[in-house]
Structure 1
Amino acid sequence: MTTSPAVSAAPAAVIADAAAYAEAVATASRAAAAYYATGESALDDDAYDRLARGIAAWEAAHPEEVAADSPTGKVAGGAAVGDVPHTVPMLSLDNVFSAEQLTAWTASLERRIGRTVAAWSVEPKLDGLAVAARYEDGRLTRLITRGDGTAGEDVSHAVGTVIGLPDALAEPVTLEIRGEVLMTQEQFEQANAARTAHGAAPFANPRNGAAGTLRARDRAYRVEMTFFGYGALALPGTAPGLAARLAELPHSAVMAEVVRLGVHTAATTEVAPRVVAAAEDVPARIEEIAAARPGLPFGIDGIVVKADPAADRAEAGSGSRAPRWAVAYKLPAVEKVTTLLGVEWNVGRTGVIAPRAVLEPVEIDGSTVTYATLHNPADITRRDLRIGDRVMVHKSGDIIPRVEAPVAHLRTGAERAVEFPSVCPQCGSGIDTSEQRWRCERGRDCRVVASVSYAAGRDQLDIEGLGTTRVVQLVDAGLVSDLADLFLLTREQLLTLDRMGGTSTDNLLAAIEGAKGRPLSRVFCALGVRGTGRSMSRRIARHFADMEHIRAADAEALQGVEGIGAEKARTVVAELAGLAPLIDRLVAAGVNMTEPGATPPAPPAADGTGGTDGGGPGEEAREPAAAGPLAGAAVVVTGAMTGALEKLSRNQMNELVERAGGRSSSSVSKRTTLLVAGEGAGSKREKAAQLGIRIVTPDEFAATVADFLPPAS
């Protein structure tokens, strides 16, 4: 293989002697038993994987001393039980943790069958519980867990709560569909809300929630889960023609049959199974799935690689624990258990009072995590968090770590309640608790320095010479109480401040005057409207063209902007209403309120059906594609820019892309159209090359968008 997926495995646990080995086996067995019985375990996935690999390494060195109850080589670690026999063993998968191990595995499989595998299926390894759904004459008759691989537990009582597993197939066929039952993030939140409302402890994470819920009976509340099919096989009574087809079809074709029968699979997701022609092509798809992981609404903990042709699978066969024709490429753990040491209450520049979890440091996905988001006070109450709790913490890629829930069964009784503030932690004023996100009653006035400094920043109004220290001076002197006051400052006022001579005063006044001419997108961003940032401010400005149209828009009109849903639209409307006096003062001060090159939306037609563009409902009708040399293109910029682009910040580059009609993005994917690769471009350039995406130099890009470049300073 020519590429290396960016995945690294945590080291295996080190087992020094026979006593440590015995303790490790006992610990792993207890953890597996707890997980498969109730969905609860004292170990997170990463800790269990490292322990299991340590046990396997010790046993490889001491084969004569392997314990009978060792989890090595057993389905479900030997802990699961069941009394419903499987017609065909329901095995686990072997794991690999690096590109080198994957290369060795594919080579070993091809040596075993004596030929090159003709095609490989690459699909997500869903983080849930494996089950077998039996259909007789098209009707769902039984749902069985994997158990120990030879027999599983009958959990048919849960059928009505599993979305994606129909009661009846599209055809009256008899067969077994195997797949994974899991909770999406939304279902997990709903489940914990229902559990805490009924006095039960919240689930620690979605996987444990699915495992516990699947086995639960006679609950006073309903918890939904989702099924993803990943295989199908014949059962006694299966029609001969169908049985033959299932045995002879490639795995990918079998899954197409499953979809045709009406069963839910990963086929419609961003990480849909895909067939590649050669082993050398597998890593590129692994990279794509791994890159999409942070944004998925459900959990994956790896990527499954399978030989697709039926003949290759049949010849490879299976061992006692796992098939030899499939392997799981494990991704770094994104969830770990650690201790909640405390909760800090921080006040943002808009006055929002946000709780932040202080954690016992833990390494997740290659970085040390000491803080995590808690969203709002209601979130703390809903999750029943207490200081001293062992908590499940989730982090993936650049996503801010979040606390999922306490691991309630590990509580000792020494935990204590989280104390909520009674007054604003920043200024001591009252707190508006009417919404889930608490806010200081003074709003932005509580953090004048922060809000003005943010507005003056390089990516907003870019007022050179107006750093935080200078803003503090202006606020302390009573010269500035909000953003608009900046544009009313006089030379005489500034000269009264310490370290403000004639030259520095003139320079600052010139910078403030220059800020009046910034495009609307910058001005809107400087306002710090909740729910928006640089990218969203650019979209809003391009969509409405001027501040007058933005302020006149209601929540429905705002939803015409890409990325704005109903809730965010209502927030923006409310924020703009509160900012109305400030915006009026900015207009009076001569601050620009238009977006260059943008055209205001057409007014609604007389019959209320929309503007004059003739579009129907949907985003295309609401927001016509921008004109320009990049119209319709999705552009990623990476590396250091040179030539005409050398002095542009990344935000300015994104603005340039969008002025030229394109859409800026920070990550390379199959939807990327163009990569601008400057000096030092690394993995993004490699990934773009693998995906066949057009790559240009800064000079080539500058020539393409020459008419849209900002004037040279």
Structure 2
Amino acid sequence: MSPVVDADRAEPFDDREAYTAALDEIRSAAAAYYNGADLVMDDATYDALLARVVATETARPDWKADDSPSGLVAAGVGIVGDVVHSEPMLSLDNVFGEEELRRWAARLDRLLGRPAAGYTVEPKIDGLAIAARYVAGRLVQVATRGDGRAGEDVTAQARRAVGLPEQLAEPVTMEIRGEIFMTDADFARANELRTSHGEPPFAHPRSAAAGTLRAQDRAYDAPLSFLAYAVHGLDAATTGLDGDGAALPHSALMAYVERLGVATTAGSPAGMRRCTTLDEVLAAVAELSARRGELGFGIDGAVIKADHPADRELAGSGTRAPRWGIAYKFPADTRTTTLLRIEVQVGRTGVITPVAVLAPVQVGGVTVTSATLHNFDDLVRRNVRVGDTVFVRRAGDVIPEVTGAKLDERPADSTPYEPPVTCPRCGGEIDRSQKRWRCVQGRACGARESLAYYAARDSMDIEGLGSKIIDLLVGAGLVTDPGDLYALEPSALVTLDRLGEVSARKLVANIQASKTRPLSRVLTGLGVRMTGRSMSRRLARHFGTMEALLAASVADLQQVEGIGPERAVTIAAELVELTPVIEKLAAHGVNMTEPGVVGAASATGGDDADVPTSTALPLRRPDGTPMTVVVTGSVPGLTRTEGNEAVERLGGRSSGSVSKRTDLVVVGEGAGSKAEKAEALGVPVLSAERFADLLAAHTAGDAATVAEILASLAGDPEPAAG
């Protein structure tokens, strides 16, 4: 993420508060980008926001903050380590079209007092910039960019990157700079390894590469790749390529480095083009843009550099970026894949939407298997059919959409899509008066399914509210969503078939009793798309209250483990759609807080005194992070779901697989191979009975018993039950 060079066309902020808020947004997005978290803002949004900041600072220089990200490498948020760079590792400024590129080239010519002697065009790889030091041909140290002046030492992890050899072909001393990243194949393999160890898949190749480069003591080694784009500290006489010791062009230096065994952008499928004129540069950029989907790794632009060292020296560099180089950013990534089928989804409000089911394809670093077709009129306009090779992009680099089909590759036997005549869910009539078709029954269309899910044992666990009773309630018009349940009175229920006065009173009592369920159960019952029981618990533990969750931005949601850009957008949209139901539930007194989360009670006016703080949670490591706990077999008095919930109530993170990184395995009756694997790996084991004791003691505030059980874990593991 680099600031826009020319903000002439950007609109300045009208007030200082908006400008300051934009700075905070930029720093937050840059921190996630450079430090390896999931992306919280797509490049286009980031670049546009930063352009407005630059425009504002130009128009109102008195507003400019001393630490404005517009003038800092990595927006001033890179993780700074102890390794000082031999020369500053600068960023590149951006251009977004031919006109801006020509203006940059004209400025370069003015600085030189003549036309540049030549240019190189290389891929802009979406990875982590590193500096690798070689002494006498051996790799001795690798550091990240950091703040441009100093970075972290990541030598141990970087040694595994393909393309960064341990030993060069010649005993040369120099520093290589380039990008550590994941190819499409690397990313697929990394996610196979990650999910097989019970962890959520990586959301994006860049964050996957960043996390892998900094990972310590993982149970698996995810693959990494490296491509060099610069060399420092190597004089021409050392290479033997220039007898008089004159400095070599960048293109010649990179060719030499490749002969030493280092992978370079020039030797990659993207290649490096040597250009004499700007028209040749533009042609090379266009060619690279057209081939970006065929390279096997993600790029988001092209890098144009002055090739001759004399031109670079004359042009010089600013505090953040060199004047002799520029990044030409590409528009949103578009790939092709096969449209397998078209499905129809019916939303909670009865909206009927066509969805494309696709053969898996990497788009912008994310594996896409389905994409929106917006509405049925739009489907006709885009002219796509099952079996077509279709173009897929991520709108705003987030939401996948099908933009059209390659008509020249359409199968001869293809037929146009026939939209549904009746509602696919309930068989009722469809209102086609608007672009977005809707079932005439509206929310009542999906009431049976949503109510059954809400009342299920793993959700709100409302005993007696089975499918037959739900059918009666919906059929009588008494209930259309979960909020309506809490307004039911026995007098209304006794008018229904199969419900006498005693049964009616009991059902109402059970419904009212469910009000005390934790927030995680409420979220599970609401059936938020792209979440389940585990993700609902993570959301509840992270935000503590429904109020905080509803106020969360897409960026805030991505701070929760396992939530990347696409999932965050979906969850945010679902919560907006569910807000009327949530407000109805809250008005009826349904609990909207998660026990054991600091501030959860106070956020809704409750009493914090009885809520355990995170520092008192027994399944926390000394640094406050959650222990990874696997529950295998049955725990007395708890279902499997309740066992996992108990782990999280005690401050831990439940997992389904045992590895070297597991902190504790709870073993109950019926446990299988997980107990044996824990013993083989030396992972502490706690019997299910003692785990139940730990939960009871923590709930009762019995600190002595909690301490006793925790102390036993420091000694010999307990024998497996059963």
Please give the TM-score of this superposition, normalised by the length of structure 2.
0.47
